[in-house]
Structure 1
């Protein structure tokens, strides 16, 4: 903040210097007197006179500070910094400077002149330039004298606050021209003495006196190279001409009611051209504007701004809303632009409002000063009344005026709460449950206090308070205390690959830390302490900041927390914007905010600086859609309830209702009936209807209703004295109506008739595509269409926001209506960090060594076998069948199952399963395994699938090293059917040698993609299958061709019993070792049957290297006949 021009200390020092000068002058005079010279005598007299004049105590050179110095010091505490990037006004609206700013950082003080130029002098009775005392109350607001006096007072006040020079130029009439042409002449003369000259018209006032003009330069883009700046004029229609406010080139004219000129060479050239314009020398057509409206303003817009703005930056065009218009301007139907005069209000039409604007600006500045003084010395000015014995008196004493937390206490309080979290005090479940239970009794013991507080703040009925505040919070405490052990328990991780299961993957629920909870005023208890319940359950510590707009409820909240909870972990900070800003400067692990979108952006911007996570519970322009198939009575009753609960101050309530045009009359009629049923004696006389929270919100809703072009069909009564607004139904015809374009947050119910459901959905999405809630009434198909074509934080079908009334359902917005959710388990989750945890046992090192360097090809293949997942879709993105999904589910890494060959030739089904191994330590040509067949019906128990409790890789290792023993693989057994234990128990192993096959591969076609799993499936079958072959033969024949080439290990499960014939259909295939050997006939005689049996008995062999081992597995005659019948031997 810039300090005063000269402090009292400096004044004392300078005064002392001048006293010394006085003494020296007197001494010199005495010395000169001795010389006797006449000249000296004359000098002596003159010096003596001067010394007496300077040193006279009655006329000090440096006496009391000037009025300008006093104002500088007085307003220093609230004067807005020049280099600040933004300014927030009293309504909470944020105004920002240009991106390239600031160009001005230091105050220019007397280098700026605020000038009033007028041919009128307000010097009549009770006017500014009359030296008699002014009576502001009786000063006229209409007429030139009162208007000019008020405006000049405003301009002079502003100059004194910021140390600018001020002048009133009483100009003479301009001969042959309108008097307003004096402006460029006076500006030209004044710029020779000042760096900046700021002219403001006599019907314009400065709105925010604490904002310096240098900051406005930064906002408007006025740089050190800018010559002149003016605001755009308001757009208006005159005599049917919609382009009356435009110049001949179609651009909106500039308004010379505010002119900011900088002393630059280019500026003087510009002013010379402007002054000479009506002479017609340079611009012949400019003569007409000498007297014709709008005079010098039209001339500047038509000619000067185009010829003297070569770089596009010499002339700055100020936004209309910043320096033109005023609130209420749009009440005039011929005004089409919404300019409200944010910083300079120009009362071009309603000039009588000039005095009112001056009064508002001055009182707002004084209010800010006094408010700051009161809170700066709170202990001096504020005296708290002692408690009385009576209950009502006790409640009133407990609800004493809201005391803001001292700014110096905020940082230490936050540090204390954070230290408590770091001490792990809040982590034990027992502590959390204890705090929740104590908070329950805090609500219970203060029921009457809460009811009284909500009645004072919102006029809320006791029943509504108990329903929406007390009961809600008490039930939430009990529910959360009962469930927090379950919520806090470690959660087993799901969808984990089987290779990672030994690491015991799990999710641990950790509290986020210290959180800030900023509440709202409409449900001050629930929306503030509801999130706190979740924070306590999660194990966090918290600072609670209630809304200052509900001061009595804020006092009640502070009392409940102080008496119920651990003050080291949970505490309350009271205050408004300064205190909230100080809180946001602290370090937080999460910020939970409930409120409006504007403030949410400020909080989000501040949180982004430290990457603090947010939960934002905001509002929205929520649509309600009533189709022609809806029940008008039911829809009217339920939507009316949603708009009358808490006097409509519910973020979830509908902002506009889109009703099918066919049922609009019936819907409105039902609204009237239901309103009378709710409030038989009228809403104002009913004890069950609340009030608006404060005057600012009341005025906002009133202006919204006043600006609407719709027709009030129900209600419309308002009373500012008790902040009452009757439930009001307005039928509108335009989606751009003021009732729709902004959130009403009150008992205003606009109805927009629509032609059909499609139009209703389209308009609802255009108005707000991510509202907090959507409410639909209609048949099932219509409700499904609405849900499918809209987005929202939540939705209630055939009701008004009832989804938000269920305390255990997640509640939150989407997009601009909020982010994150809470309530029920979601409250616990929003304050919890889900930490993934694993524990790696030492015995798993053999499997995990794939991650260590050096990275070899074998490790890569091992990793692929452990990790890679086969897609459940083909190259066209189509989902595969259940077979591929099932194989992925059981986790068989390098296994594939082909099921259903009967789909090709309509023969009996078979299953072909084969295991792919590629090991450098094993000779591939001598290690191929064939498994005996099993019926398809026994393929259902797949979990043990020949593994018998061993992992696939363990099984592979045992097979390849010939160490797999202990199973009944070679025992003769006539019962080849699978048992309930699966295929593993009855598996027979044959170890054949590889084949060399020259068969043409073109006779094979690729299998459907769903046949494959894990990448190791053999992908070909014959294009045509002989009808005489069984499915098992076909599969066997198709697989034989390529298994030597690709070194696949083939496991073939036939549809009947088992199969092992290779050479019958492949005469070109010559095995290196005999696959089937016939034993020599016995020497002793035997009958033919016995000889035939011996001759045809088969011996299954296993090869190890070049040695053939006979395992002596003989087939019975019955089995041999079965094989012969299928031409397999």
Structure 2
């Protein structure tokens, strides 16, 4: 019996005790996770430094700060998220109790990614805990130091039966994927995403696939190119370009290409100095295999900025490429590194055509002052997200679902979306054994008269909230009429009663609409 099987069995057995059902228990585990981040910040930062060359402040900014925000939000909103959700009824069920009850799925497998080994692994875990699930955590073996720290320290804070950490490489992941889970949450590339989905299908296990792709960045020639390039430079070279939502390539008209190159070059110098290799806030490529892959992608393109590298340090300078076409080597796969190709197009029409001719990306970036152009980009393309006039920051908005579409993934998370993604939204209808006469329309024989009644009762939707407002309005109107009648008896020459009633009822109506 494999170690992975034993871990999953232990997690399921612990889940089946019902320990995770009470909201108090979930909140306690979430607070422990928050305490882990606070107390072990140095250990986390040191691990990320060894894995990716990231500074301690950079680790807090891009790894743990967002997780802290997710935990705080889940603790604050959990009772609201987990509460029964009242829905609209039809006339047939108007006297019944009808609602949606979120409930835990069971045992969730979370397979993390190496580029943000803490943020991308722990944020789904927040949702899993909040939703009342057990979760087997599989950090990426590529970010080995982070995986080691997670394996050693996380069990000191969380229930190790319910939230075990399993480390290892491909064989361990394959062994995990043989087991039956109630949901699998995977972050990584589309090739492995297909393997995960195929394995999940053996048990009819639902999946959330947070993948990537080539996210385009269109720069309108009439926008503020200086500001646009500043934000693009930041978004592209954060974490040495190893970000799933980094701008993968630029689309712009040939007339502004030189200006774009010049402005990005200025920003690289401003952000990372003349020598990024020695600058603490510029990281490294994760390993030599990815270093060689990235160097090979530059073949056939002209280096406009940067291009320096050191294989022994896994260092590649922030690099801008020009003379790039859709058939260039660098356009054949997601770059996932500090290479930024520029492709020239004739305008918005060609940019949209270029985007739509390829797989749907995780995000589309567009920089423009023209709101009509932005709306057109939204209307005529498809992507996991669209962000205008900035990069990456949509990831920080917990109310926005984060996820892909098509080749860039399926499912979403963040905030309540994480809770819902890792919950079963159970339909509940509670009737009473009364009013049996109303049900005669559904019992044989099925006459035309019964069908007519069924059509009326089943197709007429009832907005329960509106009914409540109408009932409140009627009550308030009745009260207003009573008070005005009493006042009229005392002061018969006051303003006409009808006008006052109308004014009060109108005010009450607008009040109930709030």
What TM-score do the two structures reach when normalised by structure 1? 0.41
Secondary structure of 2:403's partner? Answer: coil
Question: Is 2:257 the partner of 1:667?
Answer: no
State the partner residue of 1:443: 37
**Backbone CA RMSD of aligned residues:** 2.3
Deviation at 1:868, TM superposition (A): 4.2
Match in the other structure for 1:772: 362
Per the alignment, do residues 508 and 656 of structure 1 end up closer, same or farther by CA in structure 2, a change over 3 Å counting? same
Match of 1:477 among 71, 77, 84: 71
Change (3 A) 1:861 1:472: closer
Contact map agreement 1:775 1:801 (CA 8 A) in 2: no
Please tell me whether residue 511 in structure 1 is matched to residue 111 in structure 2: no
Matched, 1:590 2:180: no
Task: Show the 5 A alignment for 1:196-207.
Answer: none
- Alpha-carbon distance in structure 2 between the residues aligned to 1:677 and 1:628: 23
Query: 1:559 deviation in Å?
Result: 2.7
Query: Aligned partners of 1:581 and 1:820: how far apart in 2?
Result: 22
Instruction: Tell me the secondary structure at the aligned position of residue 791 of structure 1.
Output: coil
Match of 2:338 in 1: 747
Q: Which SS does the other structure have where 2:2 is aligned?
A: helix
Deviations 1:570-605 (A, max 9, x none): 101111111111101111000000000110111111
Partner Cα distance (1:699, 1:467) in 2: 29
Flag the 1:461–1:841 CA change in 2: closer, same or farther, 3 A.
same
Q: Give 1:856 shift.
A: 4.3
Larger radius of gyration: 1
Deviation, structure 1 residue 789: 1.5
CA contact (8 A) 2:365 2:388 kept: yes
Q: Please state whether the residue corresponding to 2:303 is helix, strand or coil.
A: strand
Aligned mates of 2:459, 2:334 — CA distance in 1: 53
Q: Which residue of 2 aligns with 1:339?
A: none
Q: Which deviations, in whole Å up to 9, do the C-alpha atoms of 1:759-818 show, x marking residues without a partner?
A: 1121122233x1001000112222122222111101210111221232442110000000
> 4+ residue stretches of structure 1 with deviation over 6 A?
none
Contact 1:443 1:560 in 2 (8 A): no
1:657 aligns with 2:250: yes
Distance across 1 between alignment mates of 2:152 and 2:399: 27
2:167 equivalent among 574, 580, 585: 574
Structure 1 position 639 matched with structure 2 position 232: yes
Instruction: Determine the structure 1 residue equivalent to 2:506.
Output: none
Find the residue that maps to 1:570 and give its secondary structure.
coil
Unaligned runs of 5+ in 2: 479-497, 503-514
Look up the SS of the partner of 1:568 in the other structure. coil
Partner of residue 626 from structure 1, selected from 211, 215, 219: 219
What secondary structure does 1:684 align onto? Answer: helix
Distance (Å, rounded) in 1 between the aligned partners of 2:100 and 2:32: 30
Instruction: Note if contact 2:104-2:133 (Cα within 8 Å) is conserved in structure 1.
Output: yes
CA distance in 2, matches of 1:775, 1:814: 16
Q: Secondary structure at the match of 2:279?
A: coil
Equivalent residues of 2:113, 2:120 under 8 A apart? yes
Provide the residue aligned with 2:353 in structure 1.
762
SS at 2:148's partner residue?
helix
Q: Determine if contact 1:657/1:751 at 8 Å carries over to the other structure.
A: yes
What pairs with 1:388-787 in structure 2 (closer than 5 Å)?
408-494=2-88, 496-705=89-298, 707=299, 709-768=300-359, 770-778=360-368, 779-787=370-378
The CA deviation string for residues 305-363 of structure 1, in whole angstroms up to 9 with x for no partner, is xxxxxxxxxxxxxxxxxxxxxxxxxxxxxxxxxxxxxxxxxxxxxxxxxxxxxxxxxxx
- Give the CA deviation at 1:683: 0.7
Matches within 5 A, 1:108-187: none
Over 3 Å counting, the alpha-carbon distance change for 1:711 and 1:836 in structure 2 is same
Contact 1:657–1:749 (CA<8 Å) still a contact in 2? Answer: yes
Contact 1:772 1:817 in 2 (8 A): yes
Structure with the larger helix share? 2
Deviation at 1:854, TM superposition (A): 4.0
SS at structure 2 position matched to 1:838: strand
Shift in CA distance, 776/568, structure 1 to aligned 2, threshold 3 Å: same
Paired with 1:633 and 1:868, the residues of 2 have a C-alpha distance of 57
Q: 1:868 to 1:490 in 2, by over 3 A?
A: closer
Partner Cα separation in structure 2 for residue 682 and residue 824 of structure 1 = 39
SS at match of 1:592: strand
The answer to whether the 8 Å contact 1:515/1:592 transfers is yes
**1:710 CA displacement:** 2.1
* Counterpart in the other structure of 1:867: 458
8 Å contact kept, 1:417–1:514 = yes
Task: Give the counterpart of 1:845 among 436, 461, 464.
Answer: 436
How big is each residue's C-alpha offset from its partner over 1:826-845, in whole Å with a ceiling of 9 and x where there is no partner? 01011001111111112232
Q: Secondary structure at the match of 1:578?
A: helix
Q: Return 5+ residue gaps in structure 1 as ranges.
A: 1-406, 871-884, 891-939, 949-976, 982-1129
C-alpha distance in structure 2 between counterparts of 1:511 and 1:767, whole Å: 37
Q: 1:520–1:527: 8 Å Cα contact kept in structure 2?
A: yes
Deviations 1:73-98 (A, max 9, x none): xxxxxxxxxxxxxxxxxxxxxxxxxx
CA shift at 1:865, angstroms?
3.6
TM-score, structure 2 length as denominator? Answer: 0.88
Deviation digits for residues 44-93 of structure 1 (CA, Å, limit 9, x no counterpart): xxxxxxxxxxxxxxxxxxxxxxxxxxxxxxxxxxxxxxxxxxxxxxxxxx
Contact 2:66 2:396 in 1 (8 A): no
1:817 aligns to 2:411 (yes or no):
no
C-alpha separation in 1, matches of 2:440 and 2:403: 47
Deviations 1:911-955 (A, max 9, x none): xxxxxxxxxxxxxxxxxxxxxxxxxxxxx99x99xxx9xxxxxxx
SS at match of 1:571: coil
| Structure with more relative contact order (C-alpha pairs < 8 Å, separation 6 or more) | 2
Supply the distance in 1 between the matched residues of 2:148 and 2:61 (Cα, whole angstroms).
20
Cα deviation per residue 1:289-318 (whole Å; 9 max; x = unaligned)? xxxxxxxxxxxxxxxxxxxxxxxxxxxxxx
Measure the CA separation in 2 of the matches of 1:484 and 1:534: 10
Q: Report the more deviating stretch, 679-688 or 643-652.
A: 679-688
Rounded to whole Å, the distance in 2 between the matches of 1:559 and 1:628 is 52
Work out whether residues 114 and 143 of structure 2, in 8 Å CA contact, stay in contact via their aligned partners in 1: yes
- The alpha-carbon deviation at position 730 of structure 1 amounts to 0.5
Aligned to 1:342: none
Is 1:834 aligned with 2:428? no
Tell me how far apart the structure 2 counterparts of residues 824 and 481 of structure 1 sit (CA, whole Å).
11
CA distance, structure 1, for counterparts of residue 143 and residue 4 of structure 2: 21
Find the aligned partners of 1:776 and 1:861 in 2 and give their Cα distance: 53
How much does 1:733 deviate?
A: 3.9
Q: How many aligned residue pairs are there?
A: 473
The offset of 1:738, in angstroms, is 1.0
What whole-Å deviation, never above 9, does each CA across 1:108-161 have from its counterpart, x for those lacking one?
A: xxxxxxxxxxxxxxxxxxxxxxxxxxxxxxxxxxxxxxxxxxxxxxxxxxxxxx
| Distance in 1 separating the partners of 2:440 and 2:297 | 71
| Partner SS, residue 335 of structure 2 | coil
1:510-553, Cα deviation, whole Å (9 max, x unpaired): 11110100000000001011101100000000100000000110
